[in-house]
């Protein structure tokens, strides 16, 4: 169930888990890129040398599919908490919150040890302001 708004303490309490999840996403991205390179080389070999690399190609395609599924599960786990991923690669997450009686976003980016910024719903990362 999605939340309406996070307090600063509630959002900050989620940071350690988010760090772990985004670090895993980075590892998965690296693995996917490596498998894609392997797949491209095998497909080229398959065309050029007359040997059939079908089994190995299928194995790597299955590995890529597993990486994609795991990546999607992590993203779903994060968004199911009620926060919004704005940029997976940068680890940028917004938490709906109330400030002066209106809905805003608390804004966190991977590498920051706690939430120190907020922004209006329409301003995005460029509009971050210190808490």
For the whole prediction, is pTM greater than 0.75? yes
- Alpha-carbon span 90 to 110, nearest angstrom: 7
pLDDT in tens, 81-95: 999 999 999 999 999
The mean pLDDT values, 10 residues at a time, for the chain of 131 residues are: 81 97 97 95 78 85 97 96 94 96 96 96 93 95
Phi, psi of 22 (to 5 degrees): -70, -35
């Amino acid at each position: 169930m999605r939340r309406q708004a996070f307090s600063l303490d509630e959002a900050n309490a989620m940071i350690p888990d988010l760090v772990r999840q985004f670090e895993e996403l980075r590892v998965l991205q690296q693995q996917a890129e490596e498998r894609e390179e392997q797949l491209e080389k095998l497909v080229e070999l398959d065309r050029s040398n007359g040997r059939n690399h079908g089994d190995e190609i299928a194995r790597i395609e299955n590995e890529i599919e597993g990486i994609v599924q795991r990546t999607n599960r992590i993203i779903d786990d994060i968004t199911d908490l009620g926060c919004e991923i704005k940029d997976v690669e940068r680890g940028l997450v917004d938490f709906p919150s109330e400030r002066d009686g209106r809905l805003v976003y608390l804004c966190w980016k991977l590498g920051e040890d706690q939430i120190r910024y907020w922004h209006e719903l329409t301003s995005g990362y460029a509009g971050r302001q210190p808490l």
